[in-house]
């Protein structure tokens, strides 16, 4: 009986307090106050977050036994530098030219992934690292289970901090193309989910297994990487890209700037995204640069995701992208509204899409927009999707 009373009290408090009234972690893209509210709902046993919490715990237990990864795991393929600490990947949409005896130089087949890009290269390892630290740090935040924090901290150190295995903070050799002897700025997209990595690290702060020394060392690494992104020809190429590459460059650099303490640069980057929104999004919410792709709905969602991350970062530096409308009528909201229209039935999308759309990624985007804008269209769209997809999504914990 007493347990039931306590649980009911937790529920009343969690539902009654506004988001801003609840302290939370100082995360950058994730909303700390929303995480705090979700944590109270989890503690209260609220059914709205129970499926997502169960799914998170299953994922965390799986990550506990997943191998730790590092860029130095390379066995057969080294970057042109010969240094195993240097990140190395091949561009996924480039294939051998069938008209050439040796297949060189490779030719581009947009949207078609060459399996070669997944073999003993660093992009799959980077994805595994991001999944590991993101899942385990979030599970630690909600459960307090130190096992999760310890494993996440060990993975952080292996990728970023340990001298024997750490990645050098640059992407000179990201998404190279066989037969083309040139670095490619477009490879910077490989680290777009560093916006998740820094939030994961923030969730570990204060735990016994992630010391202030660890946190300071990671901030230094991210600061060095940010300096390379800003100064290198590769980074300048991505900064000027008019499609999702440019949006994700802006989201990465803004998030890393906030994380490493340069809020002046972060604010300038978010402010500059207003021009990007005007150039990328029509008054109808279409994104012409992404519609030119063979996976146009996927990339329209991918670009909107980057811009929504920038909008969340804007909350920390006093720039409102969520409410911004460009002089020509384009806005982030209209882009998401356009995607929401087709999310329940991707086959009706008025553009080329050569593979199935992962609706789970759109669930995350719609929940983020719902938290920021409160428009009923997003909740109505989510209600049309498979119930388990929506209820078990991790976004139910990020935006309760």
Q: Are strands 88-90 and 94-95 parallel, antiparallel or unpaired?
A: unpaired
* 332 and 291 within one domain: yes
* 372 and 291 within one domain: yes
* 212 and 136 within one domain: yes
Task: Report the candidate in 55, 51, 25 with the shortest Cα–Cα distance to residue 37.
Answer: 25
* CATH code of 114's domain: 1.50.10.100
* 282 and 362 within one domain: yes
- Here the tokens at position 9 are 């009290």
* 108 and 18 within one domain: no
Task: Report the candidate in 342, 70, 72, 303 with the shortest Cα–Cα distance to residue 189.
Answer: 303
The pLDDT, as a whole number, for residue 109 is: 98
* 305 and 158 within one domain: no
* 357 and 343 within one domain: yes
* 251 and 220 within one domain: no
* 204 and 349 within one domain: no
Prediction pTM value: 0.93
Question: Structurally, how many domains does the chain consist of?
Answer: 3
DSSP notation for 194-223: HHHHHHHHHHHTTSTTS-HHHHHHHHHHHH
pLDDT tens digits for range 217-276: 999 999 999 999 999 999 999 999 999 999 999 999 999 999 999 999 999 999 999 999
pLDDT tens digits for range 140-156: 999 999 999 999 999 99
Q: Which of 220, 240, 260 is the last residue of a domain?
A: 240
* 277 and 139 within one domain: no
* 208 and 71 within one domain: yes
Spell out, as residue ranges, where the chain has pLDDT lower than 50: 1-21
Domain that holds residue 277: 242-400
SS3 content of the chain, % helix, strand, coil (to 5): 60, 5, 35
pLDDT tens digits for range 301-342: 999 999 999 999 999 999 999 999 999 999 999 999 999 999
* 65 and 19 within one domain: no
């Amino acid at each position: 009986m007493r347990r039931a009373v306590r649980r009911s009290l937790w529920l009343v408090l969690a539902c009654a307090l506004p988001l801003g009234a609840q302290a939370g972690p100082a995360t950058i893209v994730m909303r700390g106050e929303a995480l705090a509210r979700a944590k109270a709902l989890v503690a209260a046993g609220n059914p709205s977050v129970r499926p997502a919490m169960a799914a998170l715990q299953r994922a965390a237990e799986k990550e506990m036994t997943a191998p730790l990864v590092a860029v130095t795991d390379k066995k057969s393929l080294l970057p042109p530098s010969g240094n195993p600490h240097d990140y190395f990947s091949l561009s996924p949409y480039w294939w051998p030219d069938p008209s050439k005896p040796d297949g060189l130089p490779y030719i581009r087949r947009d949207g078609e992934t060459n399996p070669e890009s997944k073999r003993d290269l660093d992009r799959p390892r980077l994805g595994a690292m991001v999944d590991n630290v993101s899942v385990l740090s979030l599970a630690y935040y909600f459960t307090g289970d130190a096992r999760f924090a310890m494993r996440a901290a060990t993975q952080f150190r292996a990728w970023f901090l340990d001298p024997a295995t750490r990645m050098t903070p640059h992407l000179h050799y990201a998404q190279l193309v066989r037969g083309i002897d040139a670095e490619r700025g477009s490879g910077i997209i490989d680290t777009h989910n560093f916006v998740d990595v820094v939030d994961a690290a923030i969730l570990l702060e204060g735990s016994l297994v992630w010391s202030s020394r660890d946190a300071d060392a990671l901030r230094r690494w991210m600061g060095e990487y940010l300096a390379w992104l800003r100064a290198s020809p590769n980074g300048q190429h991505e900064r000027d890209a008019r499609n999702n590459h440019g949006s994700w460059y802006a989201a990465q650099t803004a998030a890393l700037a906030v994380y490493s303490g340069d809020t002046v640069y972060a604010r300038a980057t978010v402010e500059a995204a207003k021009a990007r929104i005007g150039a990328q999004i029509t008054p109808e919410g279409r994104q012409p640069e992404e519609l030119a792709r063979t996976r146009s709905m996927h990339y329209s969602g991918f670009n909107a995701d980057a811009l929504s991350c920038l909008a969340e970062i804007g909350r920390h530096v006093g720039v409102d992208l969520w409410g911004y409308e460009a002089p020509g009528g384009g806005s982030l909201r209209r882009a998401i509204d356009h995607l929401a229209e087709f999310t329940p039935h991707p086959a009706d999308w008025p553009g080329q899409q050569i593979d199935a759309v992962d609706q789970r990624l759109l669930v995350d985007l719609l929940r983020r927009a719902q938290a920021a804008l409160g428009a009923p269209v997003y909740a109505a769209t989510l209600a049309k999707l498979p119930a388990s997809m929506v209820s078990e999504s991790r976004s139910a914990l990020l935006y309760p």
